[in-house]
Amino acid sequence: MAFPTHIVAAAGYVFDDKGNILIIKTPNRGYDCTGGQVEEGEDLEAGVLREIMEESGIKAKVKCLCGVYSNVGKYKYYDGITDVPTKVMFDFICEYESGECRTSEESSEVLWVAKEEVMNYISTPVLRYRFEKILAFDGRVTYASYVTKPEFQVLKERYI
């Protein structure tokens, strides 16, 4: 029996005490929140906090889990050759603790943006969907499955 292969990722939507949200500009997705793959042996919260620091220079703390998403589509990586396995993503609302914004190999811009303005920056359909869920978060965790290729489509959505 073969074991299934999934990418496990965690995303951090970091808010400061003024209601601003941290965003980064990535080479492939445009503006997005911080986040990425959880490393082997790393728990989800440690993974998201590491990704926030690596991509933005910001130290944060996890406030709550707000979304669990399954990208069940298979598609090619940005190189057009490599198959990308299905993904399970965990979205966390986080609070700013300290640090100054700085870019990294994964971010060409790091910005604090008023939450009322953030959707003006987000252009990728799946990212817009997830940011909308964050901005409307009412304490219920969103669970959804979707595909992003050939076009973004939500297959299932519910609140837990």
Higher per-residue confidence, 79 vs 59: 59
Q: Tell me: the pLDDT tens digits for 9-29?
A: 999 999 999 999 999 999 888
Q: How far apart are CA 54 and CA 34, in angstroms?
A: 9
pLDDT at position 132, please? Answer: 97
CB 74 within 8 A of CB 86: yes
Q: Which domains does the chain have, with CATH numbers?
A: 7-159 (3.90.79.10)
Q: Tell me: the pLDDT tens digits for 106-156?
A: 999 999 999 999 999 999 999 999 999 999 999 999 999 999 988 999 999
Q: Tell me: the pLDDT tens digits for 70-99?
A: 999 877 777 888 777 788 999 999 999 999
pLDDT at position 2, please? Answer: 64
- Cα distances from 41 to residues 8, 16, 52, 70, 86, in angstroms, run 12, 29, 18, 21, 20
CB 99 within 8 A of CB 107: no
Q: Tell me: the pLDDT tens digits for 31-45?
A: 999 999 999 999 999
pLDDT at position 159, please? Answer: 96
- Check whether 1 has a pLDDT greater than 90: no
Please give the backbone phi and psi of residue 146, each rounded to the nearest 5 degrees, phi first. -155, 170
Q: Is the pTM of this model over 0.95?
A: no
Q: What is the mean pLDDT of residues 56-80?
A: 91
